[in-house]
Copies of this chain bind each other. A is one copy, B any other.
Amino acid sequence: MATQAAFVVKFPQQLARPSRVQGRPVPPARVGIAVSRGPAGKSVSAAAPRVVRCRAGGLIEPDGGRLVELVAPEEGGRRAALRREAAALPHRVRLGRVDTEWVHVLSEGWASPLRGFMRENEFLQALHFNAVRGDDGTMVNMSVPIVLAVDDAQRRAILASGATSVALVDDHDRPVAVLSDIEIYKHNKEERIARTWGTTARGLPYVDEAITNAGDWLIGGDLEVIEPIKYNDGLDQYRLSPAQLREEFARRNADAVFAFQLRNPVHNGHALLMTDTRRRLLEMGYKNPVLLLHPLGGFTKADDVPLSVRMKQHEKVLEEGVLNPESTVVAIFPSPMHYAGPTEVQWHAKARINAGANFYIVGRDPAGMGHPIEKRDLYDADHGKKVLSMAPGLERLNILPFKVAAYDRKHNKMNFFDPSRKEDFLFISGTKMRGLAKNRESPPDGFMCPGGWKVLVEYYDSLTPPEDSPKLREAVAA
């Protein structure tokens, strides 16, 4: 298994078809990812410098110039030593689901140059400027706080002991990581929420999940993770790190990488957009633009379609040839979802720079949702695109505004909206799509590939009210 292709996404087509792309050849010497490969095909960083300089071919540089990796290397005994060190630490902070997702995100360098949970200076910069200043004085984008909360008793105990490190443990009390050179500061939840979401209305999913009941203090520090975060849900193979993605893009001789963030079921409108984007990039002179189709895999709200269902759908889309596997890499983005609109879309874009993407497709109302208590969208549908295009630290990224696709009743397929014959077009929202699937109705021909639709219907078939959350039951009933 210790092959070059070991972590390539295992969609049948991708493994079956040889790569015949006409990319600009990348001299092997320039593919300088300092990543060695373990026997099981896992990517682990080389022993000494855990910060990996990562410049694969002509790929965009990670923020801060170097891709941060915070997983202890297997070689040299560091992993075992760190495990012993963590076990011996007197203070343990238990990680919730979202906390673990952030440990994952940080450990692989999605948030480069961040090297751990934010200290107060970083937290304040994220809240006020949506960017933090790197060591060299330049601003890198960082729009959402990546923080870990502790409660009053924990804070008092840590301060009283004079400890400078704490162990981070999972819900079975097993050490996951060590946070060192710690700093504890106030968790002003109201201010954090107001500045991140632009509202303090009750009912924001991330707030309910990860902030309301969290401690009143935040603990920042340098993170070192004992071993790669795994979920053992049958989807870990799709969880490629930025270093792995960069290696894959280099292997494919990509001279442009365009990222598409999705948390909803994929349909043929998306596919049309992605295919069209590749065509436009070829027209711009790129020889081999590669799509990073990158569904979000962390926390999502109760009525969103679960990751496992969405991944099955993505498989079908490639199996049925809706997207070309040769120019597509499907992987999971491990971040939790904030639903924080213009603030969050910056994080979605910035993280993909670190994975090697230099083009980012931004849609209408990215990371948006309905206002939790008023009858309107929380964010203006255009603000995400506007804010993204002006954001500090994202100057190097090319923003590709989403062209609006809708169901073209004249040609019975998804098509880019043509205002000169608007009566031909049918807009099928996520809500409408879910409604059809819940009622076991067929979508219009060509809206979604048949396999993808089947996956969705089967998911709703599997929902039995007693197992659902009240919110989900409500959504299904709606």
| Chain A residues within 8 Å of B, Cβ to Cβ | 120-121, 124-125, 127-131, 133, 137, 139, 143, 186, 188, 190-191, 194-195, 197-201, 342-343, 379-380, 383, 386-387, 390-392, 395
Contact = CB atoms under 8 A, between A and B. Distances in A.
A124 B342 contact: yes
Contact of A199 (B128, B191, B379): B191
A128 B131 CA distance: 10
A194 B188 contact: no
Contacts of A190: 198-199, 201
A139 B200 contact: no
Contact of A200 (B194, B343, B379): B194
Contact of A195 (B143, B194, B392, B395): B194
9 contacts: A121-B386, A121-B390, A124-B390, A128-B130, A128-B143, A139-B392, A190-B198, A190-B199, A199-B200
A361 B201 CA distance: 36
A383 B124 contact: yes
A374 to B, nearest CB: 8
A251 B22 CA distance: 68
A191 B200 contact: no
Contacts of A131: 129, 392
A402 B213 CA distance: 36
A387 B124 contact: yes
B120 A386 contact: yes
A478 B380 CA distance: 44
Given A129-B391, A190-B198, 14 more contacts: A124-B390, A127-B198, A128-B130, A128-B143, A128-B343, A128-B391, A129-B129, A129-B390, A129-B392, A139-B139, A190-B201, A194-B197, A195-B195, A200-B200
Contacts of A380: 186, 188
Given A198-B190, A199-B200, A390 B125 contact: yes
Contacts of A199: 190-191, 194, 200
- The winner among A124, A197, A198 for most chain B CB atoms within 10 A is A198
A210 B253 CA distance: 57
Nearest to A376: B188
A275 to B, nearest CB: 31
A391 B133 CA distance: 9
A472 B395 CA distance: 49
Contacts of A379: 191
The 3 closest A-B pairs by CB, nearest first: A191-B198, A194-B194, A194-B198
A174 to B, nearest CB: 35
B124 A386 contact: yes
A343 B191 CA distance: 12
Contacts of A387: 124, 128
A369 to B, nearest CB: 14
A402 to B, nearest CB: 18
A342 to B, nearest CB: 7
Contacts of A186: 380
Contacts of A128: 130, 143, 342-343, 387, 391
Nearest to A386: B124
A127 to B, nearest CB: 8
- The winner among A120, A139, A143, A194 for most chain B CB atoms within 10 A is A194
A387 B195 CA distance: 14
Contacts of A124: 342, 383, 386-387, 390
